[in-house]
Structures are given as structure tokens and as C-alpha cells.
Amino acid sequence: MLKLLLGLMLLACSTAGLAQNQAAAVPAPAETSVPTTAAAPAPANIEAYVREQTKGGELDFTKMLASKKQSMFLHDGNMYTKPEYALVLWGLRVKALGIESAERACALYAAASNRPLTPAEKKALVQGFDSGTRD
């Protein structure tokens, strides 16, 4: 039992660090006049950027988690499956990009994936969005 608890604690620390690193991964713009493709999108283009990058792009956390061996992830005291945790990370990231509300984030994800969110998916996305540090 102790081994299991220690394993879960280590998992929680590693996944919390992963989420924080992903949420803070927007690089600062370069000081040169050469445009960079990795810079954060301008505020007017955030929603278009989110829709474009959600499936197969920078915001496709399902791809990133596919290589992870574990099937469950602990975040803020809640356990998530891989697909749910991908939504938690997505919620964290879009909040960091400047999406104003969890409801708007849910609508953007539904539009990008061309299907409505299930209640479990919506809960995971909202919990990720609300666990972000920016208020």
C-alpha cells in the first residue's frame, strides 16, 4: 500500500510539472525584426490559432500523451484518463493564451473537434482551465 501511495505521489509531481511546463511554454518574441513562427498569436487571432492547433498541432495534447506509459494522471487531487488529461492540459494552455472563460474554451474545443463535449470531457476541460494560475 505504501508503495502505491509513493508511486501516486511521484506521478502527481511529474504530471503537475508537465502541465505547468506546457502552460508556460510560450516563448518571448525575439528582439530582431525577423518574424518567428513560435511566438504567441496576437489577441485578435487567438481563437483562430486555438481552432487550428487543437487537432494535430501544438495544442493536440493527445499526441503528446500517447508516448506516456501510464494510463491515469493525477492533477489537483483528481485522477484522469489520458484523453481527459489531454483536455485538462488543453484547458490550462488556452487560458494561458488568453481565452477569457471556461465556457468559451468549451465552445472552441467543440468547434475544433466538430462534435459536442461529453459531460466528463467538459468537466476535465473546465477543471484544467480553472486550475490555471492566471485569473
Per DSSP, the chain holds a count of helices (H) and strands (E) of: 6, 2
108 vs 31, which has greater pLDDT? 108
Backbone angles phi, psi at 61, to 5 degrees: -75, -15
Percent of residues, the chain, with pLDDT higher than 90: 64
User: Mean pLDDT throughout 75-85?
Assistant: 94
- The domain ranges of the chain are 2-24+45-130
Query: pTM of the prediction?
Result: 0.68
Contact 93, 23 (CB under 8 A): yes
Cα dihedral 49, 55, 88, 102, rounded to 10, equals: 50
Bridge-based pairing state of the strands 78-81 and 72-75 = antiparallel
21 vs 85, which has greater pLDDT? 85
